[in-house]
């Protein structure tokens, strides 16, 4: 997308955070649709489970990538052409704000696994639909006792991919680093 399509006004931080949370809801809705439409096949075929897990990961992280990419382009445009000050903490702020519900639910998952809260794992997976195909790769039951502490750590890693995607995308886009060109068209 050309620079002329990017707005020349600084975006309100609350509006930007609400957009990120909106992407979280949109990603969960899309993953819910993917998982519910393929639920019958996911029980029988391991390849389908892997494929659906990959699809939900791409949908979720792709939405965050898109959001961070265009936010960085907008910020670069405002700083470069309109003389506004660059907020160097913006990637961190965005990485914390957008997947905030995932962080809260991760804390609930840890409390549920340690026995402080009752078994809320099924609700956790309902609200983090993009993780459901990954869990089905290892267990068919959606109760907290069916998943080990190592599995909870694996879920934590998956959740932390969200802020990592947001921060890295924002930083690379803002600094005009095109990873595709670096990988495929190495400087000679």
d(CA 161, CA 119): 25
Identify the pLDDT of residue 9: 63
Is-contact 27 130, C-beta < 8 A?
Answer: yes
Length of the chain counted residue by residue: 188
Report CA Rg, the chain: 19
Read out DSSP for 92-119?
HHHHHHTTHHHHHHHHHHHHHHHTSS--
3-state secondary structure (DSSP) of residue 186:
coil
Identify the pLDDT of residue 1: 43
Give me the tens of pLDDT residue by residue for the chain, a chain 188 residues long. 444 455 556 667 777 777 878 888 888 788 887 777 766 666 677 777 788 888 888 888 888 888 888 888 888 888 887 777 877 888 998 899 888 888 999 999 999 999 899 988 888 888 888 888 888 888 777 788 888 899 899 999 999 999 999 999 999 988 888 776 776 676 54
Is-contact 96 166, C-beta < 8 A?
Answer: no
Q: What global pTM score does this model have?
A: 0.80
Identify the pLDDT of residue 40: 67
d(CA 171, CA 90): 9
Q: Tell me the two tokens of residue 148.
A: 């080990």
Which residue, chain included where needed, has tokens 């340690």?
Answer: 114
Q: Which of 20, 162, 169, 13 is nearest to 78 (CA)?
A: 13
In the chain, where the domains are located: 10-179
d(CA 39, CA 21): 26
């Amino acid at each position: 997308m050309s620079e002329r399509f990017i707005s020349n006004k600084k975006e309100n931080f609350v509006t930007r955070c609400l957009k990120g949370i909106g992407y979280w809801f949109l990603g969960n809705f899309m993953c819910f649709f993917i998982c519910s439409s393929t639920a019958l096949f996911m029980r029988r075929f391991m390849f389908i489970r892997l494929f659906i897990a990959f699809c939900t990961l791409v949908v979720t992280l792709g939405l965050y990538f898109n959001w961070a990419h265009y936010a960085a382009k907008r910020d670069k445009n405002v700083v470069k052409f309109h003389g506004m000050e660059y907020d160097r903490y913006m990637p961190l702020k965005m990485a914390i704000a957008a997947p905030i519900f995932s962080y809260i639910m991760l804390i609930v998952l840890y409390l549920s696994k340690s026995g402080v809260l009752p078994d809320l794992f099924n609700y956790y997976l309902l609200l983090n639909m993009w993780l459901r195909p990954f869990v089905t790769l290892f267990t068919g039951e959606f109760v907290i006792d069916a998943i080990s502490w190592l599995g909870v750590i694996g879920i934590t890693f998956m959740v932390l991919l969200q802020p990592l995607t947001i921060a890295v995308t924002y930083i690379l886009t803002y600094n005009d680093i095109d990873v595709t060109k670096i990988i495929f068209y190495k400087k000679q």
